[in-house]
Structures are given as structure tokens and as C-alpha cells.
């Protein structure tokens, strides 16, 4: 945010500066970030190591085994687990080639719940919870399995709610990233300002959908 609003960091051209001024209301973005932090993002959201850029080009499947391998950890670091999942969902829309994401490709609720359910089941299989602590190893009986299924279902819906909140944060994050990239690199090779404008616009749409839902 500070970089995007820094008056000492010049745009590559007067044309870029004029265009950015007409496209972006950075004070609105800053106000929305404060609002999300104070009122929307769960304070207890778990922090883990995240990839932070799980788009299609960074997911490789090994043909010999069918195993999936993530690549390109340029943006990897400590972050909220729900942010990383939200980022992946938003990346379904693409837009990193032409600056125009297609949000008709965004996963529907069933697809999102399915992904989160599998994520938590795999996490459980590693014997680690989202707090980073080991779980006690034991073989559950039928009744225990039912209780465990209910617990997972509860965790799925709780994490899905967190992810929904971070969908909003994610749009602002990558929108600001694109503003900063356009400011420092220009938009000759890639229209960062177009991409930023689309991410900020989708933020408003997602926010309205969340409020009406």
C-alpha cells in the first residue's frame, strides 16, 4: 500500500501516471484493507508456510506417477492458510496472460467445499493440524469415525468461511501488486493497470455478493 501511494516513486511515464489516477482510488483500497482486517478476516485464522501463487502454470503433474508437484516458490512465505486457498480459487479465472480474468471459471460452492474437504482430509492424514501440532495416533471405532466425520464437516465449513473472507483480501492484494508493478516496470509488455482494475472491480462484486448472501 505504501509503495503504491508513495509520491516519491515515479511512474515510468506521464501517460501511466494519468491513466493510473483515472483508474484507481487507492484511498478506497486502503480503507477497505483496514475494514477487512478489523471486521472480516477471522483473528484466529491459522498461519502456515504458503505458496501464495498456485495458478495453473505452477502446478505440475508427473506423468509416470500422477503425483502433483508445485513449482515456482517466488512468492512463498508465512501467511494465512485460508489466503493460499482463496488465492488458488481466484486463480481459476486466469488473467495473467492478458490482464482480463474470466470469473465465470471461478469454482462454484460445491467445487470449493470439495477442495477444502480434501485439503483437510490430507492434512489429517499427515497427522498434523492447522496449529502445527501433532495429533495422537489411534484407530477409531465406528462411533469414533462418525464423530470424526462430524468434526471434519465442522472444520470444512469453518475453513470455507475463512476462505470466503480471504477472497476479498486476495483481490486487493494482487490489485495492489499490479499497481506497483505497472508503476515501476510500465505496462508495455503486460497491462498491469488493466489487471489491477479488473481485480479491484471483482473485489467490489465479491463484496456485494458476500453481503447479499
User: Which pLDDT score is estimated for 35?
Assistant: 95
Locate all alpha helices (DSSP H) within 36-186, ordered by sequence.
81-91, 109-125, 142-185
Selection from 37, 29, 9 nearest residue 199 by Cα: 29
Give the number of residues written for the chain: 213
Q: Classify residue 100 as exposed, middle or buried by CB count within 10 Å of its CB (0-12, 13-18, 19+).
A: middle
Which SS3 state, helix, strand or coil, does residue 128 take?
strand
Give per-residue pLDDT as tens, 181-193: 999 999 999 999 9
How sure is the predictor about 210, in pLDDT bands with cuts at 50, 70 and 90? confident
pTM of the shown model: 0.88
Give all domains of the chain, ordered by start, each with its CATH number. 2-212 (3.90.1200.10)
Over residues 134-159, mean pLDDT: 74
- Express as a percent the part of the chain with pLDDT over 70: 89
DSSP state of 97: T
Give per-residue pLDDT as tens, 3-41: 787 776 789 999 999 999 999 999 999 999 999 999 999
Amino acid at each position: 500500500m505504501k509503495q503504491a501511494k508513495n509520491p516519491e516513486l515515479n511512474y515510468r511515464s506521464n501517460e501511466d501516471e494519468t491513466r493510473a489516477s483515472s483508474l484507481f482510488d487507492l484511498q478506497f483500497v486502503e480503507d477497505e484493507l483496514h475494514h477487512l482486517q478489523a471486521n472480516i478476516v477471522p483473528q484466529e485464522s491459522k498461519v502456515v508456510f504458503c505458496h501464495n501463487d498456485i495458478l495453473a502454470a505452477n502446478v505440475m503433474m508427473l506423468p509416470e506417477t500422477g503425483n502433483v508437484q508445485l513449482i515456482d516458490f517466488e512468492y512463498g512465505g508465512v501467511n494465512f492458510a485460508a489466503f493460499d486457498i482463496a488465492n488458488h480459487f481466484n486463480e481459476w479465472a486466469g488473467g495473467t496472460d492478458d490482464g482480463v480474468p474470466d470469473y465465470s471459471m471461478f469454482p462454484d460452492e460445491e467445487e470449493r467445499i470439495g477442495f477444502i474437504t480434501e485439503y483437510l482430509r490430507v492434512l489429517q492424514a499427515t497427522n498434523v493440524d492447522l496449529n502445527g501440532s501433532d495429533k495422537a495416533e489411534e484407530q477409531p471405532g465406528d462411533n469414533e469415525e462418525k464423530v470424526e466425520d462430524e468434526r471434519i464437516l465442522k472444520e470444512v465449513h469453518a475453513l470455507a468461511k475463512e476462505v470466503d473472507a480471504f477472497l476479498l483480501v486476495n483481490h486487493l492484494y494482487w490489485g495492489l501488486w499490479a499497481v506497483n508493478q505497472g508503476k515501476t516496470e510500465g505496462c508495455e509488455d503486460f497491462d498491469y493497470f488493466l489487471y489491477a482494475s479488473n481485480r479491484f472491480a471483482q473485489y467490489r462484486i465479491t463484496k456485494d455478493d458476500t453481503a447479499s448472501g
